[in-house]
Structure 1
Amino acid sequence: MPAAIKPILCVVTSHPIRGDSGEPTGFAMVELTHPLDVFEKAGIPVEIASIRGGHPPIDFFDLSDPVNARFWKDKTFREMLAHSRVLGELDPSGYSAVFFAGGHGTMWDFADSEAVQNVIRKIWEAGGIVSAVCHGPAALVNATLSDGKHLVAGKRIACFTDEEEAEVKYTHVVPYLLATTLKQRGALHQPAPNWSENVVVDGRLVTGQNPASAHGVGEAVVARLKTGVSH
């Protein structure tokens, strides 16, 4: 294991409304806390950032989930969340990995964010890990490398599927279908049945399909950081 692993940057959405529906949205709590639980137990420091900074909007706020409940009672976590860093103000060289949590809000502010694209490019090209779960891979939609190619081109990925979007009845609410769009960027989409855990690892790219995959994404990121995967 490397002597000192730089922090993992955990990024959440700042977008509070689900399109024209008027329904509140944000980041999915479980998709942040479950990976954080894994990172914490591995002794790897984390920082939380959002597109606009400050307290991000929360969706799927389920305190019957024991991991959610533990973090919500943790003053350090609550403080970190309330004062999330502005993503565009951070130096990507300070992090070993970036992790994008999901939640429908990501569909409106991740893909076109220059800060998201910059942090992905810088961390990836420095040999770091890029990871995301559920709708978090919206961050990868327009992420390109210095050669202009999409990061996901030719890489195996998982994300919230079009079928899952249809099941929750937001197909015509979201601005685009995530799986379809990533495939258009050249991604090799690896879907599993709706709501089943599905973590796909392609070198330093780690992605998960849905909330059930959040813990596994965290484990895969830690495993790669501890073994120093560099390809």
Structure 2
Amino acid sequence: MAVLLVVTGHGQLGNTGKPTGWYLPEVAHPWKVFTDAGLKVTFASPKGGKTPMDPGSAEAFKQDPICTDFLKNTDIMAQLDSTASLAKVKPGDYKAVFFAGGHGTMWDFPDDVNVQKVTTAVYEQGGVVSSVCHGPAAFVNVKLSDGSYLINGKKLTGFTNNEENAVKLMEVMPFAMETKLRERGCDFVEAPLFTENVQVAGRLVTGQNPASATPTAAAVVKAIKG
């Protein structure tokens, strides 16, 4: 029973000169939920290799014991410095794929052919496809074998346009994620700013924001174990 936990490999916030990357609690909290449930976790990224953490997320969650323990775990840090390339991943080895958030995902998830291939393969083999916060950027161009968009007609959530505006980064983003997801035909479900929101549409599980990371992962475990 294994989960492929995919993080961004992109570390620059548009043209601002500021760093970004994967968002700490959206990796640390799901990792703990998965491993506590007895699932094996493999870290991957679109291109593989070293991946950047959003430094702001470490600062924001420096009092969070799960995040603190995660950062102190040298084995985990080594894995995030040498992630598997999605091109070399065997989807059949995994019961679920989980796309963690962080603003970096907006640049390297949407158009990556291997993101699309792995997502489609895991879903069509009966696995769980999941994400949190900006992780659904992975889904905007994913199509199933019949040519339909994966998320078409399904309930889904992610970091909302209102949340993006609240953190004053909408103008920096390459596109408005919520808007793009809606264009792909999903039933986008929005909760109040920065509050917990998890949507389960069969084997598609999504969470809105950092507050949703733990319950989203728990919903993935439930979906895997039936």
TM-score category of the 2 structures, normalised to the smaller one: over 0.9
Following the alignment from structure 2 to structure 1, what is the Cα–Cα distance between the partners of residues 135 and 3?
A: 15
77-86 or 153-162: bigger deviation: 77-86
The equivalences for 1:137-156 within 5 A come to 137-156=136-155
Amino acid at match of 2:18: E
Name the CA distance, whole Å, in 2 between partners of 1:74 and 1:80.
Answer: 10
Partner of 1:12: 7
The answer as to 2:104 corresponding to 1:105 is yes
1:45 to partner: Cα distance: 0.5
Tell me what 2:20 maps to.
Answer: 25
Question: Does residue 184 in structure 1 map to residue 183 in structure 2?
Answer: yes
Alpha-carbon displacement from aligned partner over 1:89-143 (angstroms, at most 9, x marks no partner): 1111111000000000000010000010000000000000000000000000001
| Partner AA of 2:9 in structure 1 | S
Range with greater deviation from structure 2 (136-145 or 53-62): 53-62
TM-score for both structures, normalised by structure 1: 0.94
Q: Deviations over 1:162-194 (max 9, x none)?
A: 000000111111011111100000010000000
Structure 1 residue identity aligned to 2:117: N
Report 1:59-78 matches (<5 A). 59=54, 60-61=57-58, 62-78=61-77
Distance 1:71 1:104 in 2: 20
Map of 1:174 onto structure 2:
173
The answer to whether structure 1 residue 132 and structure 2 residue 127 are counterparts is no
The CA distance in 2 between the partners of 1:134 and 1:39, in whole Å, is 18
Match of 1:49, SS state, is strand
- Provide the secondary structure at the position in 2 that maps to 1:207: strand
User: In the aligned structure 2, how far is the partner of 1:123 from the partner of 1:152?
Assistant: 14
Amino acid at match of 1:93: G
Match of 2:42 in 1: 47
**Gap regions ≥5 residues in structure 1:** none
Match of 2:218 in 1: 219
Please report how far the alpha carbon of residue 75 of structure 1 lies from its aligned counterpart in structure 2 after TM superposition: 2.3
Which amino acid in the other structure matches residue 50 of structure 2? Answer: H
**In 1, Cα distance between the equivalents of 2:202 and 2:196?**
19
Identity %: 47
Which one-letter code corresponds to 1:151 in the other structure? L
Task: State the TM-score, normalizing by the size of structure 2.
Answer: 0.96
Code of the residue aligned with 1:206 in structure 2: it is: V
